[in-house]
Amino acid sequence: MPYLETNEIRLHYLQGPKNGPLIFLLHGLTANAHAFDGIREAGLDRNFEVVAIDLRGRGLSDHPAFSYSMEDHAQDILGLLKHFHAEKVIVVGHSFGGLLGYYLAASYPEKVESLIALDAAAHMNPMAADMLAIRLNKLDVPYPSFSDYLKEVKAAPYNTFWAPEMLSYYKADVRPYDEGGVTPRPQLANIIEASLGVAAIDWPDVIPEVKCPVLLVNAPEAYTLGMPMLPDELAKETVEMLPHGKLITVDGNHQTMMYGNGAKQIEEAITEFAGKH
C-alpha cells in the first residue's frame, strides 16, 4: 500500500487516477479509509483526484490512536499538500472527519478551497463520550480468532490500515472474550479521549470562522444505535452560522448513507458543489 511521510509520521492514502481538483477524504473516529468505499465506487474519482487519508495511520508511532490534538491532525494533513503540488484542497469529512474539516477551514483558510461535511456532529459536548461508550459497547461482534478478524479486514478493497506496521493498532483494538475468540470493538479509552478533546472546542465560535463554501450533508434517519448524529434542526442551525453554507439531506443514517443510493447522492452533491467553487 502506498504511503506518504509527513512530520516524520507515516500516513497511508489512496490516490485516484484523475488529475482533477484534489479531494482529501477524512473518516470518522472508528472507521478506516475503506469507510468511503461506497462514494468511491459511485465514481467520485471521475472528476477529482481523491486521497483517502487514514487518520490513525501513524505507523511508526507508539502513541494510541486518536490521542492527538486537532492541530496535530491538521499539520499532518496539510503536510500532504506539497506531495501533490497543491496549494489548496477540497476537504470531505465524515463525522469526526467533518469536525476536523471545520477546524482546518477555520484555522487555515488559505489551504481549504471548500468543505463538505458528511453528518458531522457540529456541536459536540461532554455527553458525547458517554454516548459513544454506550454505543460502542453494543458493537461486540465475535470472531473465532484475531487472524479471522484480520482476514475480513484485509478483504476490504480500499482499506489503508492493514500494512504490517499497522497491526499493533489492530491488536490494541480487539478485545479477547473470556470464553475464547475476540471482538473488534475499539477500546473505549482512545475514543473517549478524542471525544473529550472535541468537546473542549467551542464549536459555535469556530464554525462562523469558516469562510470557504461549506456543504453540510445530513442523514435524517436515526443512527443505527440511537439518534441521528446531527438532527435536522441542529443541521439547519449550523448552516445558518456559515456565511457560505448549504444543507442537503440524503438517504440513510450515519453509517448507511455512505453506501447504495446515499453514496450516489453524496457523489453527485460533491461533484456539483465542488465543481461550482
Q: Mark out the alpha helices in the chain (DSSP H runs).
A: 37-41, 70-78, 96-107, 127-137, 146-155, 167-173, 188-199, 203-206, 232-240, 260-276
DSSP per residue over 108-177, as a string?
-TTTEEEEEEES---S--THHHHHHHHHHHT----BSSHHHHHHHHHHSTT----SGGGHHHHHHH-EE-
Spatial CA neighbour of 189 closest among 65, 22, 3, 91: 65
> CA of 212: how far to CAs of 99, 104, 190, 194, in Å?
15, 11, 31, 26
Boundaries of domain holding 40: 3-276
DSSP letter for 15, please: B
d(CA 175, CA 184): 7
CATH of the domain at 171: 3.40.50.1820
Beta-bridge partner residues of 176? 182
Cα torsion angle, 228, 230, 235, 237, sign: positive
Half-sphere exposure of 102 (CA within 13 A, CB side): 30
| Total number of domains constituting the chain | 1
Q: How open is the CA angle 212-214-219, to the nearest 5 degrees?
A: 165
3-state secondary structure of 54: coil
Give 104-131 pLDDT, tens digit per residue: 999 999 999 999 999 998 666 666 667 6
Distance from chain centroid for Cα 185: 18
> CA of 15: how far to CAs of 47, 52, 61, 115, 127, in Å?
13, 7, 23, 19, 37
d(CA 131, CA 127): 6
Grid cell listed for 248: 442537503
3-state secondary structure of 58: coil
Give 228-267 pLDDT, tens digit per residue: 788 888 899 999 999 999 999 999 888 788 888 999 999 9
Tens of pLDDT along the chain (277 residues)?
466 666 555 666 777 777 789 999 998 876 666 678 889 889 998 889 998 887 765 444 445 455 677 888 888 888 888 888 889 999 999 988 999 999 999 999 999 999 999 999 866 666 666 766 666 666 556 778 777 877 776 665 555 444 444 455 555 556 666 667 776 655 555 666 777 778 788 888 999 999 999 999 999 887 655 677 888 888 999 999 999 999 999 998 887 888 889 999 999 999 999 986 5
b/e string for 169-194 if b means 16 or more Cβ within 10 A?
beeebbeeeeeeebbbbbeeebbbbb
